[in-house]
Homo-oligomer: A and B are copies of this chain.
């Protein structure tokens, strides 16, 4: 039986992976945000010529579904590594942001 996945476990796997390959010296915050934006653009590339309707249906094709899932993983990988080197808790950051947005865009 495996433990359920959580963010801290994945961050530890990512840090171990980078450390074992001596890649941590490349992982300045500046480089990690660049890599994050590159991976986000690889997601955009999948969708760039699609109509809104076609974009809603990308998971119907197994190859495209795999590509999208793979790029989502890459974005999350760099986001979690960035948070690790900067000492940011991503889930707490988002929770606080939703709180601020609820005040910024109040319901009628």
Contact = CB atoms under 8 A, between A and B. Distances in A.
Contact of A55 (B7, B14, B29, B95): B29
Tally of this chain's copies? 4
B97 A70 contact: yes
Interface string A50-78: 11100110110000000011101111110
Contact of A36 (B43, B58, B70, B86): B43
A88 B68 contact: yes
Interface residues of A, number: 67
A99 B58 CA distance: 24
Contact of A47 (B10, B33, B46): B33
Given A13-B98, A17-B98, A47 B34 contact: yes
